[in-house]
A = this chain, B = another copy of it.
């Protein structure tokens, strides 16, 4: 079972930002900026070619919802959405996932400069996104 399936099955903990029947979103543990989220179908699909149309719509609508919150709740002025589809494109976990990457003008984003949440920062971010 892949890492994200274990998260979906609650075998591994994650900081869940949103969840419905078809999709789930949780904080990336190595965020570019705080609030960096992964939006994932609940069923295991490797790539965007594999997923059904209905489930793909559910995933992108959850991303839209969280994008609004990234601005409204966290005060960011914008974000990147990125999908690495297949290993040649940098996909590491073989379960389709969109990155939602909040941006600041001085974060120096190249492709994936990763940092880590310190102390209770991840919980503070999660609370803002889920209230």
Contacts and interface: CB of A to CB of B under 8 A. Distances in A.
Contacts of A95: none
How big is the A interface, by class?
35 or more
A49 interface: yes
B89 A103 contact: yes
A83 interface: yes
Interface string A36-47: 000000000001
A88 interface: yes
Interface in A83-123: 83-91, 98, 101, 103-105, 109-111
A60 B64 contact: no
Contacts of A77: 86-88
Interface in A37-90: 47-49, 51, 53, 56-57, 60-61, 63-64, 67-68, 71, 76-90
A-B pairs, top 6 by smallest CB distance, nearest first, are A78-B86, A81-B83, A78-B88, A78-B89, A57-B57, A89-B103
